[in-house]
Amino acid sequence: MSETTEVIKELLESINLPAEYRTNSLELLEKGESRYVRDLKVNFSSTLTSDHLSAKEIGLIGASIAVNNHNKPLLSFFTNFAESNGATAEEIAEAAACASLLASNNIFYRFRHFTQKEKYTQIPARIRMQIMMKPVTGKEFFELMSLAISAVNGCEMCVNAHEDSLIKLGTTEERIFDAVRIASLITATGKLIF
């Protein structure tokens, strides 16, 4: 067995996938003996620890990013990770709901930002967002998930608005940075494992 195949096997086992699981993308890396698989494994492992987020919060952010990215294997992994670290069914459902809500918000507010037309800021959005009023995960953490999803979806206006809200709520920049770092690495893993 090649070193690349061994590293892929270790990565898959850490995500609770069978050693023989392959996507076309993983097969390309394996066939080319890509050294990147070692980076991928280390980067994915680093999503599971943080000095600024609890394991439960990491699991919930991971679940929300996996929902956002339509990634079934990573959704299963992060849902189990969140549950094993104390997340309730309601909190996990809220992570999924956050991804859905932010999908609409990110598209809508990106449109407003891109066009830069005053008229579009005057027309009511008519997007219901009651979940943001009293989230079961708490206002601060819901904003943190919203920021991470907005960063993945590339909505500058949303990223700035959520980051501003978080700072006003007393969140540290290190906590914000870690949430986005984790979201970026989960997204990178999901490009090869889906």
- Encode burial over 126-165: b for 16+ CB neighbours within 10 A, e otherwise: eeeeeebeebebeeebbbbbbbbbbbbbebebbbebbbeb
pLDDT at residue 76 in the model: 98
Residue 98 annotated in active site:
no
Q: What is the pLDDT of residues 94-145, one digit of tens each?
A: 999 999 999 999 999 999 999 999 999 999 999 999 999 999 999 999 999 9
Euclidean distance between CA atoms 23 and 191, whole angstroms: 10
pLDDT at residue 114 in the model: 95
Q: What residues does each domain of the chain span? A: 1-46, 53-190
Answer yes or no: pTM beyond 0.75.
yes
Give the chain's mean pLDDT. Answer: 97
Q: Tokens standing for 176?
A: 């914000």
Q: Of these residues, 155, 179, 186, 192, which one is catalytic? A: 155
What CATH number belongs to 53-190? 1.20.1290.10
Q: Of these residues, 37, 82, 158, 182, which one is catalytic? A: 158
